[in-house]
Amino acid sequence: DIKKLPKNFKLPKAKKDFFHTLDGIILVSQKVIEFCEKYGYKNISFINLPGTDYHWLKPKKIIKYDHKTRNVLFSGYDRNCKAYNEIVGPTPVCLVDKTPLGDNFYRTDLSFGSSIVALYPLICIGTDTKEKIKAAGLTGCTFRQIFDKYDQLPDLRVQLKV
């Protein structure tokens, strides 16, 4: 749970249904929560941001990111934490499982970025989910294709880009 926001935390002036913070956290409006409930999306948690109408979107369904195909750079392994300080090269997205994603929200098993700011997973959705988001008129997100290979687009998977 988030008990208190930093004093310098500011919501964008334009009220959108999806947006992200500089450290990669995807925030959503109550409208997105109602959308997820309407379509019965499971394995998603929404953590309320105190004093706001927004929530942190945290999908629990994990998909394996294909770091070999994408040539992801892992830097600064910390033996104490047993983790890398930086993981770079998240887009375009390549997944290990090449089958289409189902109608739901997912997060990658790898978190990208730098431990100096934050490491965050990528949020991906199925194409049916994409069409439902568009039909519902939810604002603030764009969509990117997920690659099977670094230079080839697949048919039925989409990365949610906020």
Give pLDDT tens digits for 65-117.
999 888 888 999 989 988 888 998 877 788 999 889 999 999 999 988 888 77
- Alpha-carbon distance of 13 to 33, in angstroms, equals 21
The CA angle 23-17-32, to the nearest 5 degrees, is 105
Helix (H, G, I), strand (E, B) or coil at 120: strand
As a whole number, mean pLDDT of residues 24-36 equals 92
pLDDT at 3 over 60: no
DSSP 8-state symbol, 50 = T
Considering only residues 29 and 147, tell me which one the structure prediction assigns the higher pLDDT.
29
- Alpha-carbon distance of 101 to 86, in angstroms, equals 27
> Which value, to the nearest 10 degrees, does the dihedral of the CA atoms of residues 94, 98, 100, 103 take?
-60
- pLDDT given at position 161: 63
pLDDT at 24 over 90: no
Give pLDDT tens digits for 39-75.
999 899 998 887 788 899 999 999 999 998 888 889 9
Give the pLDDT band (50/70/90) at residue 155.
very low
Query: What is the SS3 assignment for 122-151?
Result: EEEEEHHHHHHHHHHCCCCCEEEECECECC
Q: Cα-atom radius of gyration of the chain, to the nearest Å?
A: 16
- pLDDT given at position 6: 61
What would the two tokens of residue 110 be?
């790898």
- pLDDT given at position 151: 56
